[in-house]
Structure 1
């Protein structure tokens, strides 16, 4: 019984990441290669929990790492999957139907949160609000364009691989006052996802476990913790 209780505790543990600050150096040289180099010393985190594996057993390889500087949060994703789909090229379209990576983050103890959803060609959707859909709103195309996106796609005989780096300036969090000091002084909650609703093998993976009977990423009660150094 004691071992069973321990296993249950471990099953629902909340993931936590300690996030380091980085120095990008010369701003004008920002690009995929330069950001990849800056992030090279940061550890990767797996997006590997198939919360609904009975209906969606396919698990592509997905991981991310993140850091921050004086102006932005920086996220890099690395994805290996059988098929890469990037049908949508306009912001705020049905990005989640493509090969898609998603980053949900809350700055007010999970009351409200932002959802950043991007496909391999940098088309994005950003929303904000509570987990009640009627109370959520989307950022405008102009606001989404504040997020700089750098991608790299590889296709080979054994599968496909793509990388995406997002440079998310603090002013992209249009409903929040985000600064390096704020990030350091507060506990931030987030979750990271890989999905592809309309891929040949649909999948719904998360970094932090979600305990819900059907696929749903809009559950902030299952966010993990981000600790900014």
Structure 2
């Protein structure tokens, strides 16, 4: 099982692509480099960073992508059919098998839910989603592939109050808190591939597997 740290910060965390000179420099860099279920000709790099403070969990993905696309425009829609990155996490691994799934496509449309399985999930409401900030390098509402596609980034603020409402109890980590989680990437065009940070043992594509989560250590 892989492990990574999530650093606590006191200064502001900007939702920007250029991370030099910002709080993002203190975050561990996690590579989503375990390709699963298919054998793509190319295996483009995806890097994710995570930080937190008293109020918010921050995520930053940098994605090499020579064929980025997005068609989903609605909250909690099938963003996994687009060029997409994901964060799954069990905030109470010693108490419950339930987990959060946050999935966002390359233009910033996202899906957020909580539950114990793929079909038994409570989804974020539009009012809750309005308090989640997402910024990225590609404007929406959709994205068609272009010959000059090379890379995109997306940065996210996930307020702990929103996550707490979904979970049903307060979710507010502090140093030495341990979550279980995984980071993923999906692309369906022109060549389908699936990638994960922590290995997933399954015979067919399925990221809804808490047993495959690594350890997230809040510092």
Which TM-score tier does this pair reach, normalised by the shorter chain?
A: 0.7 to 0.9
Q: 1:220 to 1:58 in 2, by over 3 A?
A: farther
- TM score, norm. by length of structure 2: 0.86
Which residue of the other structure, out of 89, 97, 101, is the alignment partner of 1:111? 97
- Inter-partner Cα distance in structure 1 for 2:204 and 2:24: 35
Rounded to whole Å, the distance in 1 between the matches of 2:10 and 2:18 is: 11
RMSD: 2.4
Q: Please tell me whether Structure 1 or Structure 2 has the larger radius of gyration of its CA atoms.
A: 1
Are 1:22 and 2:12 counterparts?
Answer: no
- Note the residue ranges of structure 2 that are not aligned, 5 or more in a row: 140-144
8 Å contact 1:58–1:202 — kept in the other structure? no
Structure 2 distance, partners of 1:217, 1:104, is: 8
Residue 59 of structure 1: aligned partner: 43
Tell me which residue corresponds to 1:149: 134
Rounded to whole Å, the distance in 2 between the matches of 1:16 and 1:140 is 31
Task: Output one character per residue of 1:115-155: Cα deviation in whole Å (capped at 9) or x when no partner.
Answer: 0010122111011100252x222111222222211111499
Work out the CA distance in 2 between the residues paired with 1:57 and 1:34. 29
In structure 2, the residue matched to 1:32 is 16
Aligned to 1:128: 114
1:43-82 alignment, distance < 5 Å: 43-54=28-39, 56=40, 58-82=42-66
Number of residues of Structure 1 aligned to a counterpart in Structure 2: 208
TM value normalised by structure 1: 0.82
Q: Does 1:90 align with 2:80?
A: no
CA drift at 1:88: 1.5
Structure 1: tracts of 5 or more residues without a match:
1-13
